[in-house]
Amino acid sequence: MDAAMDTYDVIVLGAGPVGENLADRAHAAGLSAVVVESELVGGECSYWACMPSKALLRPVIARADARRTPGLREAVAGPLDAPAVLAHRDAFASHWKDEGQARWLDSVGIDLVRGHGRLDGPRRVTVTTPDGQRRTLTARHAVAVCTGSRAALPDLPGLADAKPWTSREATSAAAVPGRLAVVGGGVVAVEMATAWRALGSAVTLLVRGDGLLPRMEPFAGRLVADALTEAGADLRFGTSVTEVRRADPAGPVTLTLADGATVEADEVLFATGRAPRTDDLGLESVGLTPGTWLEVDDTCQVPGVPGGWLYAVGDSNHRALLTHQGKYQARIAGAVIAARAQGLPLLETDPWGAHVATADRAGAPQVVFTDPEVAAVGLTAAEAERAGHRVRVIDHDLSQVAGASLYVDGYRGQARLIVDEDRGHVIGATFTGPAVGELLHSATLAVVAEIPIERLWHAVPAYPTVSEVWLRLLESYRR
């Protein structure tokens, strides 16, 4: 029997940054909102992804830059203080306690219900609380699925018993493993290989494909691979794992490869993709398939659900698996829900675009916090050509930019713009090199705002900064 029945304007499943932002935007517009969370308020980003991973990587990158700076390299010749780095990480993960974020929800007037929430028919959510009670919530206007994604593990013999690391364990481990095997070649794989190698692990990176960061420009993966190799990591491409064994729970793990070779490590990280956390949300009660990504329109509404009350925001809709893009969607979905609840028209022609998510695909920026950094927005050259654009690709060696050569000795990097020749603006940009993450917002503006390429010529970069690469790229384009 239900212990309680509560009604709100909006029910949000998931208290990560996406759910928090959606609830806040709806509440600020005058709607009552409740957030349901089964783990920690703040979600994956705060405790097992963005914050702890970047806290691990920041000392790594700072030391790498210092070692390339005259007058400073000698002062940082020694190893990183691993306990201090891990303590720094722990602080940024709030020591895996969420009282602060829970207090924020309370301070802005958003209710929090702890427990596992499941859809139970239209506009209805049943929550099983930590003490085993059931609480039923009813939404007047909307239920938003903001449950994010989880690490996807392959179906390999022995893997479950081997207790592999996923991204969660890789960002929260309490000690540096002597030997770490990393399976995968994407963002999580290269960031964690960078961090743990710098902290002292002997890292072996096992990559099924022929390069790193396969969804980015090929030069980005090559430069990151070169740096990891120089740092002492063992990179093996064209390699598949067929079996994983750990005979002793406290002992080493053995990976068998497709060619029969074996790799032994103290820990193994599988960074092999993400899956939606929708398998136990009661989707079947509203005619949807559990365990699937939820298709949405540009207001983040799930089509085909009678009454139009269901929304999926952030990772769960698979449009852009990035925290900042999920928060962008959340701001839009919150405004949409409020407008519809109040009978107001959606302003698709509003120059602010308050009611449509238009920049979470081709306009989604991303930084990979390796050494060197990779920053990208929009389409790669290959993606643009497959999409049928008539493009011109402009490349420039970042080491030839005065600001880059001043930034660190021996600067290595590359920049690329993808220009749509028919439309006359940049549709993609990729930068690889130290500190290039700070170049990304200017590229994002160029792509999202569709700034005419000739107008960019009049946006003069300051000298001597790494941003001067924009001038060099535009000079090449004009030739």
Assess whether the previous peptide bond of 372 is cis (omega < 30° from 0). yes
Stretch 189-204: mean pLDDT: 98
**Is the pLDDT reported for residue 98 higher than 50?**
yes
Q: Is residue 79 part of a domain?
A: no
Do 195 and 297 fall within a single domain? no
The reply to whether 130 and 14 lie within a common domain is yes
Please give the mean pLDDT across all residues of the chain.
Answer: 95
Together in a domain, 334 and 391? no
Q: In terms of domains, do 224 and 250 share one?
A: yes
**For residue 142, what pLDDT is reported?**
98
Separation of alpha carbons 82 and 59, rounded Å: 10
Question: Are residues 287 and 145 part of one domain?
Answer: yes
Give domain status of residue 411, yes or no: yes
Determine the Cα–Cα distance for residues 165 and 192; give it in Å rounded to an integer.
Answer: 11
**Number of structural domains the chain divides into:** 3
Q: What local confidence, expressed as pLDDT, does residue 162 receive?
A: 97
C-alpha span between 1 and 479 (Å, rounded): 75
Q: What is the mean pLDDT of residues 260-271?
A: 98
pLDDT digits 0-9 by tens, 301-320 = 999 999 999 999 999 999 99
Mean pLDDT of 61-88: 96
Residues 146 and 240 in one domain: no
82 lies in a domain?
Answer: no
- pLDDT tens-digit series, residues 353-409: 678 888 887 889 999 999 999 999 999 999 999 999 999 999 999 999 999 999 999
Claim to verify: residue 142 and residue 287 sit in the same structural domain? yes
pTM of the model: 0.95
Task: Specify the pLDDT at position 350.
Answer: 62
**Domain with 228 in it:** 160-272
**pLDDT at residue 320 in the model:** 94
| Domain shared by 21 and 125, yes or no | yes
Does residue 117 lie within any of the structural domains?
A: yes
What's 11's domain CATH number? 3.50.50.60
pLDDT over 90 (residue 351):
no
Residue 205 placed within a domain: yes
65, 408 Cβ separation under 8 angstroms: yes
Same domain, 200 and 246: yes
249 falls within a domain: yes
Mind listing the pLDDT tens digit for each residue in 269-281?
999 999 999 999 9
Per-residue pLDDT averaged across 209-222, rounded? 97
Same domain (yes/no): 178, 253: yes
State whether 177 and 211 are in the same domain.
yes
- What value does the mean pLDDT take over residues 425-447? 97
Asked whether residue 356 is domain-assigned, the answer is: no
pLDDT at 38 over 80: yes
pLDDT at residue 3 in the model? 45
Mean pLDDT on 425-443: 97
Whether 355 is covered by a domain: the verdict is no
- Residues 16, 142, single domain; the answer is yes
Q: Which of 255, 272, 289 is the last residue of a domain?
A: 272
More confident residue, 198 or 359: 198
Identify any residues that bridge with 236 across adjacent strands, giving them in sequence order. 206
